[in-house]
Structure 1
Amino acid sequence: MSASKGGRSAYHHGDLRNALVEAATELARGDGPEAVVLREAARRVGVSATAAYRHFANQADLLQAVKVRGQRELADSMQRGVEAAPGGGDKQQAARDRLWQIGRGYVRFALAEPGLYRAAFCRVPHVSDHPWDEGQPDAAEHGEEYRSFDMLVETLDGMEAAGVMRPGVREGAEFAAWSAVHGLVMLILDGPLSRLPEPVRDAVIDRTIGTVVAGLTREPVRS
């Protein structure tokens, strides 16, 4: 990247697209998906809207790129939770702990980055956001956009393989677990749980994740 006349920045081929996504991601961090405007991203980067349209067909195209970025950061937060979990030789306990930790990583990201979290789950016009749609490939084939969902599926499969899951509850368990934690997040971000004092909020988070784990396994609810 080098300076050009008029105070704008000149980008080498391929750099401008990434710069626009970065600027749009910052817009989403501040005010959610509604703030992702192509002209504003171009202004922040220091290029014309015409230059931006060479890389994105429209505003929805840019928002989709931000959505994928949000999903990537969400999955990274979940993975960091897993990596921070204490190791051990008990495979059954490790399988339970993995579900705990990806749940906590999920909520941790949402509370730290509410604007980007909302962008990660926003509906983008004319773009399918359901890996299980008829005619769509498996979630794993979508790459970064569905890595968080893939992690949940793999975790539940691992719990079943380790023998800690209750008989007959594996089918569709990813949707039940995801709905419970995502619903909790939205109640905290945009609903009445936003008024909870932090210690109470944290206890509610642990109780909700613990209930999900206990409902799928033979483990009692942790208090």
Structure 2
Amino acid sequence: MTTGQAAGETHQAERRRRPRGAVRDSLVSAGLELARAGGPDAVLLREATRLVGVVPNAAYRHFADRDELLAAVCAAAMRELADRMAAGVARVRGKHGDAAAARRRLGAIGTAYLEFARQEPGLFAAAFAVPQQHAYANVDDETGQDRSPLGQLRAVLDELVDAGVLDRRRRDGIEYPIWSTVHGLAVLVGQGPLRDTPDAARHHLEQLTLGFIANGLTTA
């Protein structure tokens, strides 16, 4: 049997084993695991194909190059962060527009963000690895709501306006300094000068930061 014949049979076997789209999804899942273990630099096409169990050339049917795979992994990591934030918000009881509940939902978003950065540093780094190659919006087809981390933050801030906590005149663009503050703390305690901070002290810093944000929303 020639090398070409062997390769052809291998490709046919792969097609029999996997339905359409399964190889791409599997490569993205493999890329996520690589990022989880080693950050965005660990996401390599050849290593992803090895984990999936397909020949290296199979990846190029779905991704033009390594950057396209990394972009897909980036988007998937961002969705995982968004899912954690949504789960945290869902655990908060209270109707929309209730001031106390809206404050707790804002806190839940910040807490989930910081927990994800701490528990999944590789995925957190991957989520922001190639921002120019994917959209941060994650619109739900049924509700039309933006389920991305930024979209969820905006929704809670809008609720705080409805609840009378945040002055409507201060609403425009305030999500960006809030996001910057929480993200900055995540980076400082993750790989920055605060990375060796003991758990108790780190928890205090997180609560101090989230409290600073919440109190600042009601300051004229």
Q: Does TM, scored on the shorter chain, surpass 0.5?
A: yes
- The structure with the largest alpha-carbon Rg is 2
Q: What is the distance in 1 between the residues matched to 2:127 and 2:146?
A: 9
Runs of 4+ in 1 over 6 A off after TM superposition: 142-146
Corresponding residue number in structure 2 for 1:61: 68
* SS across alignment from 2:169: coil
Corresponding residue number in structure 2 for 1:39: 46
Q: What is the distance in 1 between the residues matched to 2:147 and 2:90?
A: 20
**Is 1:161 aligned with 2:168?**
no
Identify the match of residue 37 of structure 2 among 14, 26, 30: 30
Query: Residue 46 and residue 62 in structure 1: after superposition, are their counterparts in 2 closer, same or farther (change >3 A)?
Result: same
Identify the match of residue 59 of structure 2 among 29, 52, 57: 52
Corresponding residue number in structure 2 for 1:212: 213
Corresponding residue number in structure 2 for 1:193: 194
Corresponding residue number in structure 2 for 1:106: 113
TM-score by length of 1: 0.83
Q: What is the distance in 2 between the residues matched to 1:123 and 1:24?
A: 14
Q: What is the distance in 2 between the residues matched to 1:81 and 1:145?
A: 16
Aligned residues: 205
Query: Residue 194 and residue 65 in structure 1: after superposition, are their counterparts in 2 closer, same or farther (change >3 A)?
Result: same
Corresponding residue number in structure 1 for 2:4: none
Alpha-carbon displacement from aligned partner over 1:179-211 (angstroms, at most 9, x marks no partner)? 000000000111111111101100100110110
Runs of 5+ consecutive residues of structure 1 not aligned to the other structure: 132-138, 219-223
Is the 8 Å Cα contact of residues 72 and 145 (structure 1) preserved in structure 2?
A: no
Is the 8 Å Cα contact of residues 66 and 120 (structure 1) preserved in structure 2?
A: yes
Q: What is the distance in 1 between the residues matched to 2:163 and 2:146?
A: 28
Give the drift of 1:96. Answer: 1.1
Is the 8 Å Cα contact of residues 68 and 145 (structure 1) preserved in structure 2?
A: no
TM-score by length of 2: 0.84
Is the 8 Å Cα contact of residues 161 and 171 (structure 2) preserved in structure 1?
A: yes
Runs of 5+ consecutive residues of structure 2 not aligned to the other structure: 1-8
Identify the match of residue 120 of structure 1 among 122, 127, 130: 127
Q: CA RMSD in A?
A: 2.6
Q: What is the distance in 1 between the residues matched to 2:168 and 2:58?
A: 57
Alpha-carbon displacement from aligned partner over 1:5-53 (angstroms, at most 9, x marks no partner)? 7xx9642222111111111100000011111101110011111111111
Q: What is the distance in 2 between the residues matched to 1:191 and 1:88?
A: 39
Alpha-carbon displacement from aligned partner over 1:137-165 (angstroms, at most 9, x marks no partner)? xx465989961110011111111111101
Corresponding residue number in structure 1 for 2:149: 148
Opposite residue 154 of structure 1, the aligned amino acid is A
